[in-house]
Amino acid sequence: MKIRIGIIGAGRIGKIHADNLLRLAQAEVVAVSDLYAGPELEVWAADRGISTVTKNSDDIIARPDIDAVFICSSTDTHVPLIKQAARAGKHIFCEKPVSMDIAQTEEAVEAVRQAGVKLQIGFNRRFDHNFKRVREHVQAGTIGDLHIVKITSRDPNPPHEDYIKVSGGIFMDMMIHDFDMARFLSGSEVEEVYAQGNVLVDPVFAKYGDVDTAVVTLRFANGALGVIDNSRQAVYGYDQRVEVFGSKGSVAVANDHPNTAVVSTAEGIVSDKPLHFFLERYNDAYIEETQMFIDSLAKGAPLPVEGNDGLQAERIALAAKLSSRLKRPVKLSEIHELSKA
Amino acid sequence: MKIRIGIIGAGRIGKIHADNLLRLAQAEVVAVSDLYAGPELEVWAADRGISTVTKNSDDIIARPDIDAVFICSSTDTHVPLIKQAARAGKHIFCEKPVSMDIAQTEEAVEAVRQAGVKLQIGFNRRFDHNFKRVREHVQAGTIGDLHIVKITSRDPNPPHEDYIKVSGGIFMDMMIHDFDMARFLSGSEVEEVYAQGNVLVDPVFAKYGDVDTAVVTLRFANGALGVIDNSRQAVYGYDQRVEVFGSKGSVAVANDHPNTAVVSTAEGIVSDKPLHFFLERYNDAYIEETQMFIDSLAKGAPLPVEGNDGLQAERIALAAKLSSRLKRPVKLSEIHELSKA
Amino acid sequence: MKIRIGIIGAGRIGKIHADNLLRLAQAEVVAVSDLYAGPELEVWAADRGISTVTKNSDDIIARPDIDAVFICSSTDTHVPLIKQAARAGKHIFCEKPVSMDIAQTEEAVEAVRQAGVKLQIGFNRRFDHNFKRVREHVQAGTIGDLHIVKITSRDPNPPHEDYIKVSGGIFMDMMIHDFDMARFLSGSEVEEVYAQGNVLVDPVFAKYGDVDTAVVTLRFANGALGVIDNSRQAVYGYDQRVEVFGSKGSVAVANDHPNTAVVSTAEGIVSDKPLHFFLERYNDAYIEETQMFIDSLAKGAPLPVEGNDGLQAERIALAAKLSSRLKRPVKLSEIHELSKA
Amino acid sequence: MKIRIGIIGAGRIGKIHADNLLRLAQAEVVAVSDLYAGPELEVWAADRGISTVTKNSDDIIARPDIDAVFICSSTDTHVPLIKQAARAGKHIFCEKPVSMDIAQTEEAVEAVRQAGVKLQIGFNRRFDHNFKRVREHVQAGTIGDLHIVKITSRDPNPPHEDYIKVSGGIFMDMMIHDFDMARFLSGSEVEEVYAQGNVLVDPVFAKYGDVDTAVVTLRFANGALGVIDNSRQAVYGYDQRVEVFGSKGSVAVANDHPNTAVVSTAEGIVSDKPLHFFLERYNDAYIEETQMFIDSLAKGAPLPVEGNDGLQAERIALAAKLSSRLKRPVKLSEIHELSKA
């Protein structure tokens, strides 16, 4: 028996999840909803044997024959959709972030808990072959006790201004992946954050109170220190590296490249740039996160990343945002109080 | 309208091709034949919606609704099947080598020519991301005039004795891929071959007049020199590298690895071994060769590797075999004469 | 005519400088002083044709035939010796740090200025082949405007407790090199510092109010951000890397290794650890800094690193120390005020 | 007591050896001879405290106070000088090749044996940090039984025509280093050689019956196979790599680079070219070979490379030359007979 899925939000990422689900023997995509559904989406769905196309996500959540929904619509819709789907007994895969408001995310997580359904958050990087290998080494004790975690995450190009406007800012939109990675790799919670940022790539970020370059230091509950650097523009391509360092050594992962070719000429030694952006770099990771969600539903395996993981990453992002604004380190225990101010 | 395909020979490679074809919107696998077809194959086919399973390849070749066949059966069946399929007007994808007898391969290529059908040979490595990049650079003139081509090709483990027995020997079975690669990368024909071999991995190879370690030098029509080294056993994994060197520089490609993790400890700096074997390393290449075959049929694009490519690689392999036996360099122009001796 | 040199302090680094000077055609080492001078030092000096060995540095500074002194004695002696040597008209090479008290360092720099002599500070890393290449690229505009500077600096082993006691702490003793590197690479002054530290390697550091692991973020006058991580113990060897990132790309340098050998076995792919420690890694840099000091004296070339460079690095180190204590970012403009508190 | 040395032949390499000897506490260079000795050489010698400069090497060999000579004059003078020096009881360091005539080299080696003096041949690459590490691994059994040895050796630029004319050809002049390396790394003698060459870099080589590009395969006494490729012109710099492969894995060494800087820009990932040529790459190796020669004389340590090593490399070079001419593999046991023809 196949897991029957409805996709809510048929933008780029919604379509990627649909295509990845179609490759799985245990899953069946039966419906897709999108506010802007039209002939184009209908053709797309028909090509894939997806029978229902609708503008209204209620049509999906109401259907008793649907086991799970993928929430790939805009961030502001996530929490209401999660609550609604949870009440309807659907398992949920939701893109990151759950919301930009910790209290709302907490409500969503609570609704899921009460409904007894499963909620997986789309932290796709946890499924990347490189980062998984780092975590394996950390867990196996290869590097001993953890001392320093370093994460570099730089996009090849800044997003469009329309997106910057609603993105929630670099910490909530972009670095949230790295905050999750910090927790994933260290196996420890973050206790304190200090965020430095600046507008160095494009003045448009300043217009929305955002920065495009940021360096954030972390202090983990286990005493380890961390540092994350983000840039909205690395002209040489998507830059996604981590290094963990401890009492017995270090594990570091470099970028993925389209090939291993090294050209040696009178001008120097040259190789091709890293894989361009997240679709190229995390293609296999997207496939695997979908596979593991379905496996969890079909076989009762534990979820690889849960609602609480979404919540914790958002809490760190909020602490970073507050630190950047207050120009001082912020403890995660302070954010509730500080947010009210 | 989809290209309708029949698979002849449902061993490992036949099944891989079938699965790769199933991912293509333009292709449909409608039948599969195997001498040992039974309940297991029927389940396998049913899971994939392949309606016909038969022990007799005639059932496939005779069907007027089938456009093309994949010949994945044992090497000795290739030539008769190619002739039969060509006469029946089927396009053909055939695994390498076409045969171990140049005259027979020539007949097969001629039959294809007369029938006006297409014949693609399964030189999957031409579709590898690394080797394609090398060829692009050679063709773009990055390295200028070609002076030296170096190819390393080592398997992680020797094959089973049952296979060694019928393999045709290291030059025809294993190095044939490298002979094709030499032609592919250089864009030039090989004129002379000198082969050195020895039994260093396992005495079982000597039992069948074969060697397990070989170094072959090539002289190309354009004056460039080449060297290929093969081993049946590289304990660190599948070793597939090439380097081309010329008047303006060199291009070299290294192995593919499962991740980029580098572990630094008191013992040294360690990374994981290369991708284990051809299924892991050439997974994407297998997908692409299938895609290009279907594209060629559907859109009339030229084939990326043709019958003549199979023939030329076999001629070089035969020259290498003769060189090894005669302990002297052998010109390709001599092989007809020498084979008669 | 040769530059005549006296060495003050004949510990490990004093002897290294002496040996490096002996290789220079333009320099002559004529005297060496050390509080603990004895038969061993006399033999060492005799082997090198150094005629005078004394316990009293005054004997060196008083000699009219000596052109320059190398101050390699303990840090607390640096300032009085610089003042005395400057007044005596000697040019001075002084090991880092000049002192652990900014006001005293300022006095020393001022004394040098008034005397019109030259003062070079022993920031040997500026002469390292890797770091010089990074700076060349930054200055040539290869990476465009500077956005992020990242520096990793980890020692293979913690120092002995006797040294920890008087070291001045990780920021003044160890990270001071990285603060100088940050200025050297960026070509910009540091304006603000935030320091996080912890005792993760050995509890002995806590005993002296010191930390063994630290992550420090920097904000430069030109708007760029920086981050430095230090550890007193990297079991895989001396770890000295930098990366600078900007609007047109990045330049990164890796560690130096004793050889390029890569061993591939059934266990993995292994290479040797980096060069063990500063004597191995910076051997050539020590030679070059000495050469450039002598060149500056002999040919009037500008000094590659001056008293002010020593002062600025100390100011950043002090800011880091204060930040770590106050648990907040510290501006360099605040340190005068804060130090009084 | 110091070893007193005379240098015969004060060209580039003679001067390098002299300078390297001057750094050694146990050695003293007391005389230098050169056919073209004149004021320039006298200044050079005076700067270094070398008291005697002469045009006549007899002046050196006749001196009873000289313990050893470095023969750095043109190849045709090596054998008579070795014989003369041996008879005079001098220890000898001689540049490669001893001669281009095996019989003469044999006579020189025999003269040395009869005189009971030591003769070291200038195979400097044996002292290279990379190649030494490979040999250590081979000897330690890291790679198990040896199966394949691969050596790449390419010069950045072809020599001047004046040199080509008298060089003895690529096999005797250039590849002789690689033949020695093959013996050094494998610990086995070469039994058979097959040489392919072509003129691809510059037609001037053809004028002197020489080639500029060559690929040579070797068969070792222990059954292993080898391959060496040489080019007189690698535009990206000096290319000196080896790989040894065996039953337990492989060890490979890459080129040395002036720094580890990697530049990432919109155009690609770029690093600097390898160290330019032998003076840069083998600087430390030249120092070490001199040190070991002196150690052998001073402490009675065994020589690291002896007369017989020179002889064997020449025998392989001759076999390669014959193979290239006869266009067939040549056994080393045949060269005596074939040379007479």
Assess whether A194 and A247 both reside in one domain. Answer: yes
User: Which residue of chain D has the CA closest to C268?
Assistant: D249
Chain A: nearest CA to D224, how far in angstroms? 29
Statement: residue B340 has pLDDT above 90: no
Assess whether A55 and A156 both reside in one domain. Answer: no
Q: Please tell me the total count of domains within chain C.
A: 2
Reported as a single tens digit per residue, the pLDDT across A52-106 is 999 999 999 999 999 999 999 999 999 999 999 999 999 999 999 999 999 999 9
Q: How much is the mean pLDDT over chain B?
A: 96
Q: Is C254 exposed, middle or buried (0-12, 13-18, 19+ CB in 10 A)?
A: middle
Q: What's the whole-number mean pLDDT along residues C64-85? A: 97
CATH number, residue D172: 3.30.360.10
Statement: residue D183 has pLDDT above 80: yes
A289 within domain boundaries: no
Q: Return the higher-pLDDT residue of B110 and A23.
A: B110
SS3 A256: coil
Statement: residue C1 has pLDDT above 80: no
Tokens of A106: 């907490």
User: Which residue of chain A has the CA closest to D267?
Assistant: A236
For B220: left if phi > 0, alpha if psi spans -120 to 50, otherwise beta; the answer is beta
Reported as a single tens digit per residue, the pLDDT across A202-260 is 999 999 999 999 999 999 999 999 999 999 999 999 999 999 999 999 999 999 999 99
Q: A117, A148, A167: which is the final residue of a domain?
A: A117
Reported as a single tens digit per residue, the pLDDT across C103-144 is 999 999 999 999 999 999 999 999 999 999 999 999 999 999
Assess whether C93 and C168 both reside in one domain. Answer: no
CATH number, residue A104: 3.40.50.720
**pLDDT score, position A341:** 66
Q: B117, B148, B172: which is the final residue of a domain?
A: B117
Assess whether C70 and C217 both reside in one domain. Answer: no
C288 within domain boundaries: no
Q: What's the whole-number mean pLDDT along residues B113-129? A: 98
**Which residue among A25, A132, A262 sits closest to B252, beta carbon to beta carbon?**
A262
Chain C: nearest CA to D136, how far in angstroms? 11
SS3 B240: strand
Statement: residue A25 has pLDDT above 90: no
D289 within domain boundaries: no
Chain D within 8 Å of C130 (Cβ-Cβ)? yes
Distance CA D329, CA D217 (A): 9
Statement: residue D1 has pLDDT above 80: no
Q: Do A130 and B259 touch (CB under 8 A)?
A: yes
SS3 A183: helix
C297 within domain boundaries: no
Q: Is D283 exposed, middle or buried (0-12, 13-18, 19+ CB in 10 A)?
A: middle
Chain A within 8 Å of D236 (Cβ-Cβ)? yes
Chain D within 8 Å of B235 (Cβ-Cβ)? yes
Residues of D in contact with B154 (CB under 8 A): 245
Statement: residue D257 has pLDDT above 80: yes
Cis, bond preceding A302 (omega within 30 deg of 0): no
pTM given for the model: 0.96
Residues of D in contact with B190 (CB under 8 A): none
Assess whether D174 and D192 both reside in one domain. Answer: yes
Assess whether D42 and D70 both reside in one domain. Answer: yes
Q: If residue D240 lies in a helix (H) or strand (E), which one and from where to where?
A: strand D239-246
**pLDDT score, position D339:** 82
Q: What's the whole-number mean pLDDT along residues C13-33? A: 94
Assess whether D106 and D140 both reside in one domain. Answer: no
**pLDDT score, position B341:** 67
**Pairing state between β B249-253 and B239-246:** antiparallel
Assess whether D17 and D154 both reside in one domain. Answer: no
Distance CA A208, CA A169 (A): 8
Q: How much is the mean pLDDT over chain D?
A: 96
Q: What's the whole-number mean pLDDT along residues B232-254? A: 98
Range of the domain at D324: 126-277+312-340
**pLDDT score, position A340:** 78
Q: Do A236 and D266 touch (CB under 8 A)?
A: yes
**pLDDT score, position C341:** 67
**pLDDT score, position A23:** 84
Statement: residue D95 has pLDDT above 80: yes
Residues of C in contact with B265 (CB under 8 A): 235-236
Reported as a single tens digit per residue, the pLDDT across A123-133 is 999 999 999 99
Residue C251 phi, psi (nearest 5)? -130, 130
SS3 A24: coil
**pLDDT score, position D341:** 66
The residues that bridge with B203 in the sheet, in sequence order, are none
Q: D96, D117, D138: which is the final residue of a domain?
A: D117
D49 within domain boundaries: yes
Q: What is the dihedral of CA C309, C315, C320, C322, to 10 degrees?
A: 170
A287 within domain boundaries: no
A273 within domain boundaries: yes
Reported as a single tens digit per residue, the pLDDT across C168-226 is 999 999 999 999 999 999 999 999 999 999 999 999 999 999 999 999 999 999 999 99
Chain C within 8 Å of A145 (Cβ-Cβ)? yes
Chain A: nearest CA to D259, how far in angstroms? 12
Q: Residue A214's Cα: distance from chain center in Å?
A: 18
Q: Do D217 and B215 touch (CB under 8 A)?
A: yes
Residues of B in contact with A137 (CB under 8 A): 261, 263
Q: What's the whole-number mean pLDDT along residues D137-154? A: 98
Which has the closest alpha carbon to A71: A95, A50, A55? A95
Q: Return the higher-pLDDT residue of A318 and B25.
A: A318
Chain B within 8 Å of D255 (Cβ-Cβ)? no
Reported as a single tens digit per residue, the pLDDT across B179-225 is 999 999 999 999 999 999 999 999 999 999 999 999 999 999 999 99
Assess whether A212 and A250 both reside in one domain. Answer: yes
Residues of B in contact with C271 (CB under 8 A): 268-269
Reported as a single tens digit per residue, the pLDDT across B11-64 is 999 999 999 998 898 999 999 999 999 999 999 999 899 999 999 999 999 999
**Pairing state between β B91-94 and B119-121:** parallel
Q: What is the dihedral of CA B138, B144, B146, B149, to 10 degrees?
A: -50
User: Which residue of chain D has the CA closest to C255?
Assistant: D260
Assess whether C209 and C106 both reside in one domain. Answer: no
Assess whether B66 and B168 both reside in one domain. Answer: no
Q: How much is the mean pLDDT over chain C?
A: 96
Q: What's the whole-number mean pLDDT along residues A136-145? A: 98
Residues of A in contact with C213 (CB under 8 A): 147-148, 225
A288 within domain boundaries: no
Q: How far apart are the first and last CA of chain C?
A: 52
Q: What's the whole-number mean pLDDT along residues D13-17? A: 96
Tokens of D319: 């076999």
Q: What's the whole-number mean pLDDT along residues B147-171? A: 97
**pLDDT score, position A243:** 98
Chain D within 8 Å of C341 (Cβ-Cβ)? no
**pLDDT score, position B332:** 98
Statement: residue B131 has pLDDT above 80: yes
Q: Number of A:C CB contacts under 8 A?
A: 102
Assess whether A78 and A103 both reside in one domain. Answer: yes
